[in-house]
Amino acid sequence: MSTHVEQREFQAETRQLLDLMIHSIYSNKDTFLRELISNSSDALDKLRLESFRDKDLQVDTSDLHIELEVDKDARTLTVRDNGIGMTRDEVVDLIGTLARSGTGELRQKLREAKDAAASQELIGQFGIGFYASFMVADKVTLVTRKAGEDTGTRWESSGESTYTIETLDDAPQGTSVVLHLKPEDADDNLFDYTSQWKLEEIVKKYSDFIAWPIRMEVTRTTKGEDGTDEVSVETKTLNSQKALWARSKDEVSDEEYTEFYKHVAHAWDEPLEVIPLRAEGTFEYQALLFVPTHAPFDLFARERTTGIQLYVKRVFIMDDCEDLVPEYLRFVKGVVDAQDLSLNVSREILQQDRQIRAIRRRLTKKVLSTVKDMAKQDVDKYRIFWKEFGRVLKEGLISDTDNRETLLEIASFDSTASEDQQTTLAGYVERMKDGQEEIYYITGESRQLLESSPHMEAFEAKGIEVLLLTDPVDEMWVTSVPEYDGKPFRSVAKGEVDLGTDDEKKAAEAEREEQEKEFGELLTWLKESLDEHVKEVRLSSRLTTSPACIVGDTFSMSPALERMYRASGQPMPRTKRILELNPAHPLVTGLRTAHGERNDDPALAETAELLYGMALIAEGGEVEDPARFTRLLADRLARTV
């Protein structure tokens, strides 16, 4: 028997708002079940809490659960819980939120919201996820009774102009939501939500870690002894309830962590490092992060599918929440579960706020400190990590100034100090020569190319260590990072190099002045001959065996970086650089003598062009006209045969 039946009308704008929610806010119709299960989970949490607070509350909390019930013939799906339930007034207040939203204030805000994104934010302030049910149902019936109350409430609506609400004398404690399902429509991504496998799939994806059991009766078909099919019905718990991030590390085995990592990362390897994290206080969240052993194949792809999964109260929100970690930590996998976050009604768009920024800062620092500890305590594991992820981690040197010092501390680089072991910057500084004030580096495509570069000759002769930077990102960060531990970074291919001691510089000063006089006319002529390519020609103090090299100004852009910008579509003017000559090389001294004897010989200009081309090739560059350079070289070789 029921009493106090009341029919109410939605306000004029409500249908428009409901249409907007159904067709614009949610991108995946499957999420209706996530919303209903989430509401049920909240109701069970509230009942358990209320039973602790009110000892006189007569409720049975021994078997709190969520139940899915399917009626294929009637095409209904029921989501039922035995949680806290609602009173009639609460139903009007909570479930009627959308009905109350047709106010003058909201209408005015909707008129002011010109774009869809702004409209979504507004709807997120006024709607509730319960109404996602109308994406898949023609009619929704809700029956509920508040724990400790004698009467229940029945609410029903088809999402049109009216809804009914009535008081029930007899209703079970908790809440049941009955969906009268729409017909299956593949073109509209509307699936058969009476299908056992579909419901199991949705629960596994969105609600697997809900703390309460989600149960459903399922049919099993087995072969009998006589070979005939035997059909049985059993109650199955659809969710695992194993939220490993909610347990301390001591309570979880390595095998459980590995299994969970493979599940969330869709990976086959084992995690290199497990990072649990718990934040308590005014804003609570838990995290369980994993550093993979191997870099994923899509690490440098524009479109990546998995990263940090976001949960709110164990309810899955999104698969790859890019806001939770910086781009250079995109290889980190795992889960963040927050108690409260600013989500809009669809739970699909994360609102930017200080809580997200706080989580991001904390996760970033935790991952970097873990790598730092790894480098100190387990060198072999650290080397695996840096081999797989060092290149992407160095992107943070450009973008993350707040953590730059930490990144510099954990970074490793190839250097001339060892052929098979990389060095940290702290190790480099510790080995610096007396009087050395700068950290020297050289960038290029390979170690072999860099080690044979003419720019390295003076450093090899003096036994000065040079960092060999071969990753494309190295070209970028060395221009952004000024120093480490008070020692500025200095390219061996830029500016003038004078590695001698003060006494050596004094002793060589007179000799250099004499050389400047001897080679003065040659330097002037070469500058005029190669004016299209170089801005200056000078004698070098960095060359010992090569005849010439090309160097840039101290703060100029490297040729490799120029090529990277051009490849990305950015127009870059060609920068003239400096040609340095080795005054002790026979080719240079011979060119000086020849110029002094026959400065009008056209062949000398070709020699200058070959000298410049050789310097370009020696540093790994490309001559502008390879065919002409080859022809000139072939002619010269022919004369010597």
Do the beta carbons of residue 144 and residue 91 sit within 8 Å?
yes
CA distance 210 to 87: 25
Among 35-39, 174-178, 199-203, 565-569, the least confident range: 565-569
Average pLDDT over residues 317-321: 76
**Tokens standing for 379?**
């060198």
What is the average pLDDT score of the chain?
84
Do the beta carbons of residue 51 and residue 84 sit within 8 Å?
no
Measured on CA atoms in the order 248, 249, 255, 256, is the torsion positive or negative?
A: positive
Q: What is the pLDDT of residues 269-287, one digit of tens each?
A: 899 999 999 988 778 899 9
Average pLDDT over residues 277-303: 85
Binding residues for ATP: 35, 39, 81, 86, 101-102, 125-130, 175, 347
Residue 339: count other Cβ atoms within 10 Å of its Cβ: 12
Average pLDDT over residues 510-538: 90
Average pLDDT over residues 519-544: 91
For 174, list phi and psi in degrees, rounded to 5: 110, -160
Q: Which helix (H) or strand (E) holds 280?
A: none
Local structure of 612: helix, strand or coil: helix
DSSP string, 202-264: HHHHHSTT-SS-EEEEEEEEEE-TTS-EEEEEEEEE------GGGS-GGGS-HHHHHHHHHHH
- According to DSSP, the residues that pair with 274 across neighbouring strands are 290
Ramachandran assignment for 479, one of left (phi > 0), alpha (psi -120 to 50 degrees), beta (any other):
alpha
**Residue 454 burial class via C-beta count within 10 angstroms: exposed 0-12, middle 13-18, buried 19 and up:** buried
pLDDT class for 77, splitting at 50, 70, 90?
very high
Share of the chain above pLDDT 70, in %: 87
Reduce the secondary structure of 292-324 to three states and give it as a string: ECCCCCCCCCCCCCCCEEEEECCEEEECCCHHH
43 Cβ neighbours under 8 A, 6+ residues apart: 81, 83, 84, 85, 174, 175
Among 47-56, 325-334, 404-413, 567-576, the least confident range: 567-576
Ramachandran assignment for 216, one of left (phi > 0), alpha (psi -120 to 50 degrees), beta (any other):
beta
CA distance 65 to 525: 91
Q: Would you state the pLDDT for residue 422?
A: 95
Do the beta carbons of residue 441 and residue 411 sit within 8 Å?
no
Measured on CA atoms in the order 530, 533, 538, 541, is the torsion positive or negative?
A: negative
Do the beta carbons of residue 337 and residue 313 sit within 8 Å?
yes
Q: Would you state the pLDDT for residue 102?
A: 38
**Residue 589 burial class via C-beta count within 10 angstroms: exposed 0-12, middle 13-18, buried 19 and up:** middle
Average pLDDT over residues 558-563: 73
pLDDT class for 439, splitting at 50, 70, 90?
very high
Burial 310-320 (b: 16+ CB within 10 A, else e): bbbbbbbbbee
Q: What is the pLDDT of residues 356-400, one digit of tens each?
A: 888 999 999 999 999 999 999 999 999 999 999 999 999 999 999
CA 455 remoteness from chain centre: 37
CA distance 426 to 383: 16
Length of the chain as a residue count: 641
For 633, list phi and psi in degrees, rounded to 5: -65, -40
Average pLDDT over residues 75-92: 92
Residue, of 209 and 103, whose pLDDT is higher: 209
634 Cβ neighbours under 8 A, 6+ residues apart: none
Ramachandran assignment for 174, one of left (phi > 0), alpha (psi -120 to 50 degrees), beta (any other):
left
Specify the pairing of strand 439-443 against strand 487-491: parallel
Residue 229: count other Cβ atoms within 10 Å of its Cβ: 8
Strands, E assignment, 38-126: 66-71, 76-81
What domains lie within the chain, and their CATH numbers?
14-234 (3.30.565.10), 244-375 (3.30.230.80), 511-552+574-639 (1.20.120.790)
Q: Would you state the pLDDT for residue 243?
A: 86
**Tokens standing for 416?**
């001339």
CA distance 607 to 561: 29
CA distance 36 to 66: 10
Q: In Å, what is the CA distance from 359 to each residue of 246, 393, 571?
A: 17, 19, 39
Q: Would you state the pLDDT for residue 399?
A: 92
Q: Would you state the pLDDT for residue 110?
A: 44
Binding residues: 35, 39, 81, 86, 101-102, 125-130, 175, 347
Residue, of 26 and 162, whose pLDDT is higher: 162
- According to DSSP, the residues that pair with 68 across neighbouring strands are 79, 216
DSSP string, 480-515: T--EETTEEEEETTBS----S-HHHHHHHHHHHHHH
Q: Would you state the pLDDT for residue 114?
A: 43
Structure pTM? Answer: 0.73
Is pLDDT at 46 greater than 60 in this prediction?
yes
Is pLDDT at 314 greater than 90 in this prediction?
no
pLDDT class for 332, splitting at 50, 70, 90?
very high
Local structure of 144: helix, strand or coil: strand
Do the beta carbons of residue 366 and residue 325 sit within 8 Å?
no
Q: Would you state the pLDDT for residue 121?
A: 39
Do the beta carbons of residue 558 and residue 620 sit within 8 Å?
no
Q: Which helix (H) or strand (E) holds 468?
A: strand 467-469
Measured on CA atoms in the order 453, 456, 460, 466, is the torsion positive or negative?
A: negative
Q: Would you state the pLDDT for residue 417?
A: 94
